């Protein structure tokens, strides 16, 4: 089996930047991997992504949770599991921890309900390692040039994004699967911390 590595954090925390640097490192070192993202990754999931992020219709909290979970069910079965079975490292930009904090914690849905839906959607697939990029949402929005208007989730009040950060810290501090990274450090330092962890876990040399 390959290793399943996920990247979490608020908007503009640096997830995509970090994954891009890792991809470059893996390419240069002939390490077999795939990189994907949530919601999205395969065509039907990108269609769901368009709905959950950009629909101008009202979507209830429970329906939002199920849409993210539906996308996850498809991506897990169609891409992530087969890639792991063929021995690849799978890098995923967001996974179910995002749903736990955005649709669960910050939207007032109980974590036990979220996890029961999640277990059904993923058939119990849990990441081997989750890198959580922690940053004050105000700082993150400043560095990405403001909140993306028109993105239903990103445009929510700052108080929502602080709840998201709170939620991440609560789950990350109590679970050894998480590595908490200070997202205000330089891109190079963060990449080195991630590579160091992957070496310690014998995922790379
Ligand atoms: N360690 C860092 N230090 C300073 N700036 C950074 C760092 N990492 C990323 N950035 C910058 O912050 C912005 C957001 O980064 P990025 O798009 O990688 O975040 P993200 O977590 O993928 O955001 P989103 O949730 O919106 O997809 C970009 O302009 C990026 O260049
Ligand atoms: Mg991103």
Q: Rounded to two decimals, what is the model's pTM?
A: 0.98
Give the C-alpha separation, 112 to 114, whole Å. Answer: 5
Q: pLDDT tens per residue, the chain (205 residues)?
A: 999 999 999 999 999 999 999 999 999 999 999 999 999 999 999 999 999 999 999 999 999 999 999 999 999 999 999 999 999 999 999 999 999 999 999 999 999 999 999 999 999 999 999 999 999 999 999 999 999 999 999 999 999 999 999 999 999 998 999 999 999 999 999 999 999 999 999 999 9
Give residue 6's pLDDT. Answer: 99
CA of 108 to the centre of ligand 2 (A): 24
* Ligand 1 binding pocket, CB closer than 6 Å: 9, 11-17, 143-144, 186-187, 190
Report the nearest-CA residue for atom 5 of ligand 1.
143
Give residue 12's pLDDT. Answer: 96
Contacts of 123 (CB under 8 A, 6+ apart): 76, 77
What are the extents of the domains in the chain? 4-198
Structure tokens belonging to residue 68: 């993210």
| CATH code of the region 4-198 | 3.40.50.300
DSSP SS3 for 133: strand
């Amino acid at each position: 089996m390959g290793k399943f590595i996920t990247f979490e954090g608020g908007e503009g925390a640096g997830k995509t930047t970090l994954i891009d640097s890792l991809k470059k490192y893996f390419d240069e070192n002939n390490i077999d991997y795939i990189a994907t993202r949530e919601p999205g990754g395969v065509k039907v999931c990108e269609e769901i992504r368009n709905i959950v992020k950009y629909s101008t219709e009202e979507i209830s909290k429970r329906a939002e949770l199920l849409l993210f979970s539906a996308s996850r069910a498809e991506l897990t079965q169609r891409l992530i599991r087969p890639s792991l079975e063929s021995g690849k490292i799978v890098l995923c930009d967001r996974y179910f921890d995002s749903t736990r904090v955005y649709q669960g914690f910050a939207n007032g849905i109980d974590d036990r309900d979220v996890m029961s839906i999640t277990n059904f959607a993923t058939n119990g697939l849990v990441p081997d390692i989750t890198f959580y990029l922690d940053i004050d949402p105000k700082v993150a929005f400043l560095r990405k040039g403001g909140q993306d208007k028109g993105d239903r989730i990103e445009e929510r009040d700052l108080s929502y994004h602080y709840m998201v950060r709170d939620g991440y810290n609560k789950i990350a501090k109590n679970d050894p699967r998480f590595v908490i990274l200070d997202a205000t450090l330089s891109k190079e330092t963060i990449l080195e911390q991630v590579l160091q962890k992957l070496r310690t876990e014998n995922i790379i040399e």
